[in-house]
Amino acid sequence: MEFYNYIKALHLIFVITWFAGLFYIVRLFVYHAEAKEKPEPEQSILIKQYQLMQYRLWYIITWPSAILASIFAFWLLHLIPAWLEQDWMIVKLGFVVLLYAYHIKCHLIFKELQQNKVKNSSNFFRIWNEGATLILFAVVFLVILRNAINWIYGVVGIFLFSIIIMLGFQFYKKIRTKNK
């Protein structure tokens, strides 16, 4: 138990960098989708740069962070196995599985974009980016409140906030289009 706080700190650091990678990779997906609509030679220049940025972010930060966050999480569960008997932890682990599913889907999108196959719009990617946000809020509320039910209030709040942001974005887009 002497190293518990060090392991916990490392787990948190890599969770933070994992989420940072997930947030930024989808932002790069947005830029990539928008670049696909640009005229040449701008399109080729931008896409080449975005592919390089995506590659470096994905393999140097995001994947290693996911793996290291998981290793330190398993280590913490090994040190305190009683957590596996608590409802909040079971729900949290369910969200971690969901986070890995989100991560894998991002990986599939990443692979397509590395071949410059853009199957989704920039608006789709903006909405897709909210998935990681919802998971983050749910996990943080679960860990802090340690209650398998109260996390719902936090997630519902961020979901409503996300809807307001997206409606604001759509409203702004209509105004911008109308003024052109």
Average pLDDT, the chain: 91
**What's the number of domains the chain is made of?**
1
Q: What is the pLDDT of residues 30-55, one digit of tens each?
A: 999 999 999 999 999 999 999 999 99
- Amino acid occupying residue 128: W
Of 14-18, 86-90, 92-96, where does mean pLDDT reach its minimum?
A: 86-90
Query: Which positions make up the binding site for heme?
Result: 11, 92
**What pLDDT shows up at residue 169?**
76
Q: Output the pLDDT for position 18.
A: 98
Q: Which residues are annotated as a binding site?
A: 11, 92
CA distance 59 to 65: 9
Domain that holds residue 104: 4-178
pLDDT, tens digit (0-9, with 9 covering 90-100), for 147-156: 766 667 766 7
